[in-house]
Structure formats: C-alpha cells, structure tokens
C-alpha cells in the first residue's frame, strides 16, 4: 500500500516527537532479528521512504521496522 506524502511526513513528525536522538529503540532486521540500540538522528523522509539512523547500524532504517524499546 502506498501512502501519500502528507501521511509519510506526519509519520516522521510523530516519530521525532516521541523518539528524539538517543532514545532506546528496537529494530527488526530483514532477516527477522531484533536489535536493541538508540536513535542516532532524527527521522527524515527520503523520497517516499521514512527512515532513521541508528547507533551501530550501518544503514538507514525504515521507520516501519523501528519501535521504542
């Protein structure tokens, strides 16, 4: 399902309000592993993909895979 840009922007704003940089989170990897870490940045929208950088993770993570720890 494709979401509108406005919907994605609101998702990023909500994530940033609830999860500032340094907040503990859990990310689900593509292989199904769960890793507990902290946010290293604010979330942002790149194209149509909302994501966030996490400490110790080499790539930007899609917000759909990140939840508060």
CATH number at residue 47: 2.30.30
Pairing label, strands 66-68, 44-46? unpaired
Q: How far is the C-alpha of 20 from the C-alpha of 40, rounded, in Å?
A: 9
Instruction: Tell me the per-residue pLDDT of 6-64, one tens digit each, with 9 for 90 and over.
Output: 999 999 999 999 999 999 999 998 899 999 999 999 999 998 899 999 999 999 999 99
The residue segments making up the domain with residue 40 are 5-68
Answer left, alpha or beta for residue 38, where phi above 0 means left and psi between -120 and 50 means alpha: beta
Overall number of domains in the chain? 1
Quickly state the pLDDT bin for 5 (edges 50, 70, 90): confident
Q: How far is the C-alpha of 45 from the C-alpha of 51, rounded, in Å?
A: 6
pTM above 0.75, yes or no: yes
Residues near 47 by Cβ (< 8 Å), separated by ≥ 6?
Answer: none
């Amino acid at each position: 399902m494709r979401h509108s840009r406005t919907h994605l922007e609101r998702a990023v704003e909500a994530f940033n309000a609830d999860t500032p940089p340094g907040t503990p989170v859990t990310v689900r990897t593509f292989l199904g592993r769960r890793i507990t870490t902290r946010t290293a940045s604010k979330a942002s929208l790149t194209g149509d993909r909302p994501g966030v950088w996490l400490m110790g993770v080499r790539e930007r993570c899609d917000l759909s895979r990140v939840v508060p720890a």
